[in-house]
Chain A
Amino acid sequence: MGFPHPSHPKETPVLSKYFGDAAARSFRGWVERGGYEGLKKALGMTPEAVVEEMKASGLRGRGGAGFPTGLKWSFMPKDDGKPHYLVCNADESEPGTFKDREIMRWTPHALIEGCAVGCHAIGAECCYIYIRGEFTEPWHVMSAAVEEAYAHNALGENVFGSGKRIEVVLHRGAGAYICGEETALMNSLEGKRGNPRIKPPFPAQAGLFALPTTINNVETLAAVPHILTRGAAWYKGLCLGNPKSTGTKLISVCGHVMRPGNYEITLGTPMKELIFDMCGGMRPGRTLKAVIPGGSSVPLMTPEEVDQCATDYEGIVACGSMLGSGGMIVMDDSTDIVYEIYRLAKFYAHESCAQCTQCREGTAWTTKILARILSGQGKSSDLDLLLDLSENMTGKTICVLSDSCAAPIVSGIQKFRADFEAYLSRATAPVLALA
């Protein structure tokens, strides 16, 4: 595993401040860097006060949906006499996203501290961290860090002498994209097939082992200790004009930029500044063709949309896509958009859990149509068919995997129709041999 790039001056390093600093991985190193102060502070507060602090900070879920974290925590029942669970979603399976991996590799104690604070806030004694199966190095780092945290009473029966019991259990996934979906993740944790569950009941009512559960993303939980030590007002102040999107966000930039990598930006940073300044822009002689800003599940953006886009939850929606997980895939003019969308559809077809009809059959069928277009045998009716199938796959299933497959297809056809038509008219030479 390589080291990350040095921080760019336009970044706001909060979570990424110690990326590349191997000494920050140890308990001692983390404490020397101000670690576990947030947890100690939280343990001196009531759970309600911690929840209020999160609400005041404006922190929103960093896994994709962007749901306000404090509000989510407040949904947990009070004094119900049942065990509660916190689950940390470290499955990070969204294509194009690699931020949680870096958090776990470099600052494992930030995550453990965040988990402990979360447990305190929602009345849980146990947090499961569900780590993506392919994450070998993060797994080893996290395992060592959890062991150390227990040894130093940051976890265990009596955390820092507070009388509070907080356990963290690491669980390693087996390599299924769908297990990053929160209810599928819970099923997987329970030892069942990783199929998403129908909601309601919502996790806060009946989640893991049918008990009240909160699920948060790694990046969300890792931000929590910082908010506690430096204050909600400080975090809320990390804002570039849109008060609904506060704080910093790690953006995993990959693709055709000069310097791909994780960039921690203050939400609201212009996307063109991120791509053309921080990431060093396009490769020599190349121009921007499209951006997938939030992991493979979100619609594609055109250069025009990128040009005027503020990188935050609302800003990207206004420009026709979503912030999602912050996995930004940048494509220059050498990219075959049709092939790119085909490859995504193929991924979703492979990863569909097979529960819902539209997803099981729709992801595979759209993939076949795209393959046929790429093979030079597409029909003029294929684009309308793809759009109709995509509509039939959207908003009708248990989880959003089906929608995620449809989103790039619809946006691809709407925004890059000429690329499709070039294949249909045989202007572009076939790139696939049809089986």
Chain B
Amino acid sequence: MTQELVNVTIDGVPVSVPKGTPIIEAAKQAGVLVPHYCYHPSLPAPAVCRMCLVEVEKAPKLMPACVTTVAEGQVVHCNSATAKKARESVLEFLLINHPLDCPICDQAGECELQDYVFQEGRASTRYADYAKRYNPVEDFGPDVLYVANRCILCTRCVRFMEDVADAAVLNVSERGDRAFIGIDPAQRLDHPWAGNVVDLCPVGSLISKDFLHKARAWDLDKSASVCPGCTQGCNIMIDTRDEVVVRLRPRANLEVNRHFMCDVGRMDYRWMNRGDRIEAPLVREAGSPRLLAVDWDRALARLAELVKGTTGKVVLLASGRSSLEALAWVRRLVAAQSITAAIKVPIGEAAVLPGVPNLALRRERVPNLDGAKLVGYTTEWQGALDATRSSALTILLDAALEEKEVKQLGGGPLVVLSTVHEDWYDSAKLVLPLTSMAEEHGTYINRDQRVQRFTQAKAAPGMARAAWWIAAEALALNGTRGTPSSAAEAFAALGAWIPSLGGLTYADLGLTGRIIEPTPAGSRE
């Protein structure tokens, strides 16, 4: 479908944009960010903050760029003297009742009020003689506090709950300068997607209790990732401070999650910071009663030897959180044998976000279900557990087994690749320290066959390595040539035996992913 294009000039830069585009979006294409508060590309635009007023030639007055659509031949000045004075005045009006408590505000450093005032606000106040508006902090819900005094009443939160979450819990209460964001007294802000109001809030008014006073924004390192919580594959940022994950936030991907993520995914990060990690390869030497820490050379040699010496059936029990690279290369490691491979898929309650098509917290709480299937894993978990009774080798790939599952394991040789240590691993021949998904580069394939990259967000502990690397190194020891030395190579090589990934590289995926045609079952390998 071809869209009718409209030619406009914004701050001297000519751009062609589809008819109906608001000036604020057209300006982005001209390289101009029109300062704004109430406008958000995933919410209906109410044009209330009046920050994005721009000068449109031939218009009688300044026009709000968020709701004024482009017209052929339109000439827009976002930074003319009148537009700048209007913005400066909005900033002044917003600040007169703002507490200016940036030193104790979580939003400082990523606050749009702070940023724009710094960019083009007045240097001093003309409101010095009056008391500021005061309203107490309100506890809105499980993770959301409302600091009313910082609120600029942009109403993004109200519109998100009403128009996107379809749960009108929040409102604008009172009028004039007494107005504040109110909450239905009979309800809590406990919608499974409610946490997004914290990200949407351009100032420090809606803040996360979980993140409260944890870190300053400018101290954070931010890494593009994919939520490992379910098959939706929401794009996220993992924010760390000194190698500690302090919060997860949604990252824009208009095809997958727009600007949102659910609270279940948002809050599920503490496992990334677990301290009880395996930090060195552990080997059971012949005659030794316990596992001993060794270097990688020794451990890899042992792994290669174990795999080469196995002639019977191999069972792979993997975590659904394992990357495509990990699942594929570990499976390839034992490709010569008869293989039973399965991932464990925990099931939970689904939670739809009504305002965004095809966006929900999915029942299948693994990020790589389709990736696992693509590279030869099933979800027949119980069958795989049963198969261990007759297997010549069982490999556990970061799969946390429940106590009753451990009892079902057969007595054959066991190799464990894991992030954390369990007491029962003492029975294994080999225990190898793995990186978690937060500590490695990798890919997941979501329920829509979108292959998406996640990047390393923090350093791995000790000698932990990615599973694909361990498998590839062992393969090399057994004579395979051209094994990968980076995650990018590990991914690029997959196309050789998984046709639907043929030719794809990390560069092709970018940070928003690529949809593939799934390979029909049976045609692989």
- Which of chain A's residues 180-215 have a Cβ closer than 8 Å to chain B? 193, 198
Most buried by B among A351, A357, A358, A395: A357
- Which of chain B's residues 81-97 have a Cβ closer than 8 Å to chain A? 85-86, 89-90, 92-94, 96-97
- Which of chain B's residues 113-127 have a Cβ closer than 8 Å to chain A? 126-127
Tell me whether A354 and B50 are in contact (CB under 8 A): no
Tell me whether A356 and B177 are in contact (CB under 8 A): no
- Given A198-B67, A360-B153, A398-B47; A392-B53 close (CB under 8 Å): no
Chain A contacts for B174, CB-based, 8 A: 354
- Given A198-B67, A358-B90, A392-B89; A363-B177 close (CB under 8 Å): yes
Mask: chain B, 265-280; 1 = CB below 8 Å from A; 0 = not: 0000000000000000
Tell me whether A198 and B46 are in contact (CB under 8 A): yes
Tell me whether B130 and A368 are in contact (CB under 8 A): yes
- Given A349-B176, A362-B93; A355-B48 close (CB under 8 Å): yes
Q: What separation, in Å, do the CA atoms of A91 and B94 have in the docked complex?
A: 31
Most buried by B among A198, A354, A363, A372: A354
- Given A349-B177, A365-B93, A372-B129; A356-B61 close (CB under 8 Å): no
Cross-interface CB contact of B86 among A353, A355, A396, cutoff 8 Å = A396
Tell me whether B62 and A395 are in contact (CB under 8 A): yes
Tell me whether B126 and A396 are in contact (CB under 8 A): no
Chain A contacts for B49, CB-based, 8 A: 356-357
- Which of chain A's residues 382-413 have a Cβ closer than 8 Å to chain B? 385, 389, 392, 395-398
- Which of chain A's residues 367-381 have a Cβ closer than 8 Å to chain B? 368, 372
Tell me whether B175 and A352 are in contact (CB under 8 A): yes
> A333 → chain B, closest Cβ, in Å?
32
Assess whether A240 is interfacial by the CB under 8 Å rule: no
Minimum CB distance partner of B174 in chain A: A354
- Which of chain B's residues 121-180 have a Cβ closer than 8 Å to chain A? 126-127, 129-130, 152-153, 155, 171-172, 174-179
Assess whether A14 is interfacial by the CB under 8 Å rule: no
Minimum CB distance partner of A395 in chain B: B61
Q: What separation, in Å, do the CA atoms of A227 and B468 have in the docked complex?
A: 87
Cross-interface CB contact of A357 among B50, B171, B175, B178, cutoff 8 Å = B50
Chain B contacts for A176, CB-based, 8 A: 175
Tell me whether A364 and B176 are in contact (CB under 8 A): yes
* Overall SS of chain B's interface: loop
Assess whether A350 is interfacial by the CB under 8 Å rule: yes
Q: What separation, in Å, do the CA atoms of A290 and B178 have in the docked complex?
A: 32
Assess whether A307 is interfacial by the CB under 8 Å rule: no
Q: What separation, in Å, do the CA atoms of A358 and B94 have in the docked complex?
A: 8
Q: What separation, in Å, do the CA atoms of A178 and B175 have in the docked complex?
A: 10
> A60 → chain B, closest Cβ, in Å?
20
Most buried by B among A353, A355, A365, A397: A355
Assess whether A340 is interfacial by the CB under 8 Å rule: no
Q: What separation, in Å, do the CA atoms of A30 and B153 have in the docked complex?
A: 50
Cross-interface CB contact of A361 among B47, B61, B96, B126, cutoff 8 Å = B96
Assess whether B51 is interfacial by the CB under 8 Å rule: yes
Minimum CB distance partner of B88 in chain A: A392
Minimum CB distance partner of A401 in chain B: B176
> B438 → chain A, closest Cβ, in Å?
40
Minimum CB distance partner of B67 in chain A: A198
Tell me whether A363 and B176 are in contact (CB under 8 A): yes
Q: What separation, in Å, do the CA atoms of A159 and B499 have in the docked complex?
A: 74
Q: What separation, in Å, do the CA atoms of A358 and B93 have in the docked complex?
A: 6
> B253 → chain A, closest Cβ, in Å?
29
Q: What separation, in Å, do the CA atoms of A363 and B153 have in the docked complex?
A: 16
Chain A contacts for B152, CB-based, 8 A: 357
* Overall SS of chain A's interface: helix
Chain A contacts for B51, CB-based, 8 A: 357
Q: What separation, in Å, do the CA atoms of A42 and B175 have in the docked complex?
A: 43
Mask: chain B, 43-58; 1 = CB below 8 Å from A; 0 = not: 0001111110100000
Chain B contacts for A353, CB-based, 8 A: 175-176
Q: What separation, in Å, do the CA atoms of A372 and B97 have in the docked complex?
A: 18
> B200 → chain A, closest Cβ, in Å?
18
Assess whether B64 is interfacial by the CB under 8 Å rule: yes
Mask: chain B, 228-263; 1 = CB below 8 Å from A; 0 = not: 000000000000000000000000000000000000
Minimum CB distance partner of A193 in chain B: B172
Q: What separation, in Å, do the CA atoms of A430 and B50 have in the docked complex?
A: 36
Tell me whether A360 and B61 are in contact (CB under 8 A): no
Cross-interface CB contact of B47 among A178, A198, A349, A354, cutoff 8 Å = A198
Tell me whether B53 and A396 are in contact (CB under 8 A): yes
Chain B contacts for A349, CB-based, 8 A: 176-177
- Given A358-B90, A392-B89, A392-B93; A364-B177 close (CB under 8 Å): yes
Tell me whether A356 and B176 are in contact (CB under 8 A): no
Q: What separation, in Å, do the CA atoms of A385 and B53 have in the docked complex?
A: 22
Tell me whether B175 and A350 are in contact (CB under 8 A): yes
Minimum CB distance partner of B85 in chain A: A392
Minimum CB distance partner of B89 in chain A: A392
Chain B contacts for A364, CB-based, 8 A: 176-177
Tell me whether A358 and B89 are in contact (CB under 8 A): yes
Tell me whether A360 and B179 are in contact (CB under 8 A): yes
Cross-interface CB contact of B50 among A358, A365, A368, A385, cutoff 8 Å = A358
Q: What separation, in Å, do the CA atoms of A354 and B155 have in the docked complex?
A: 11
Tell me whether B126 and A385 are in contact (CB under 8 A): yes
> B4 → chain A, closest Cβ, in Å?
19
Tell me whether A357 and B176 are in contact (CB under 8 A): no
- Given A396-B62, A396-B86; A354-B176 close (CB under 8 Å): yes
Chain A contacts for B127, CB-based, 8 A: 365
Q: What separation, in Å, do the CA atoms of A355 and B155 have in the docked complex?
A: 9
> B19 → chain A, closest Cβ, in Å?
15
- Given A198-B67, A357-B51, A361-B97; A351-B90 close (CB under 8 Å): no
Minimum CB distance partner of B94 in chain A: A357
Chain A contacts for B175, CB-based, 8 A: 176, 178, 350-354
Tell me whether A396 and B50 are in contact (CB under 8 A): yes
Tell me whether B62 and A354 are in contact (CB under 8 A): no
> B131 → chain A, closest Cβ, in Å?
9
Chain B contacts for A363, CB-based, 8 A: 176-177
> A414 → chain B, closest Cβ, in Å?
20
Minimum CB distance partner of B91 in chain A: A357
Q: What separation, in Å, do the CA atoms of A193 and B67 have in the docked complex?
A: 21
Minimum CB distance partner of B127 in chain A: A365
Minimum CB distance partner of A372 in chain B: B129
Tell me whether A355 and B53 are in contact (CB under 8 A): no
Tell me whether A356 and B62 are in contact (CB under 8 A): no
Chain A contacts for B172, CB-based, 8 A: 193, 354
Q: What separation, in Å, do the CA atoms of A87 and B85 have in the docked complex?
A: 38
Chain A contacts for B93, CB-based, 8 A: 357-358, 360-362, 365, 392
Q: What separation, in Å, do the CA atoms of A385 and B130 have in the docked complex?
A: 14
Chain B contacts for A360, CB-based, 8 A: 93, 153, 176-177, 179
Tell me whether B177 and A354 are in contact (CB under 8 A): yes
> A400 → chain B, closest Cβ, in Å?
11
- Given A350-B176, A363-B176, A365-B93; A356-B129 close (CB under 8 Å): no
Chain B contacts for A354, CB-based, 8 A: 153, 172, 174-179
Q: What separation, in Å, do the CA atoms of A350 and B48 have in the docked complex?
A: 18
> B105 → chain A, closest Cβ, in Å?
20
Residues of B that sit less than 8 Å from A by CB: 46-51, 53, 61-62, 64, 67, 85-86, 89-90, 92-94, 96-97, 126-127, 129-130, 152-153, 155, 171-172, 174-179
20 additional contacts (CB under 8 A) given A357-B48, A357-B49, A357-B51: A198-B46, A351-B176, A352-B175, A353-B175, A353-B176, A354-B172, A354-B175, A354-B178, A357-B93, A358-B50, A358-B90, A363-B176, A363-B177, A364-B176, A365-B93, A365-B177, A368-B130, A389-B89, A392-B86, A395-B62
Sample 14 A-B pairs with CB under 8 A, ordered by A number. Answer: A354-B177, A356-B50, A357-B51, A357-B152, A357-B153, A358-B50, A361-B96, A361-B177, A362-B93, A363-B177, A364-B177, A365-B96, A392-B92, A396-B89
Residues of A that sit less than 8 Å from B by CB: 176, 178, 193, 198, 349-358, 360-365, 368, 372, 385, 389, 392, 395-398
For the complex of A and B, the 6 pairs showing the least CB-CB separation, nearest first, are A354-B179, A392-B89, A364-B177, A361-B93, A352-B176, A355-B48
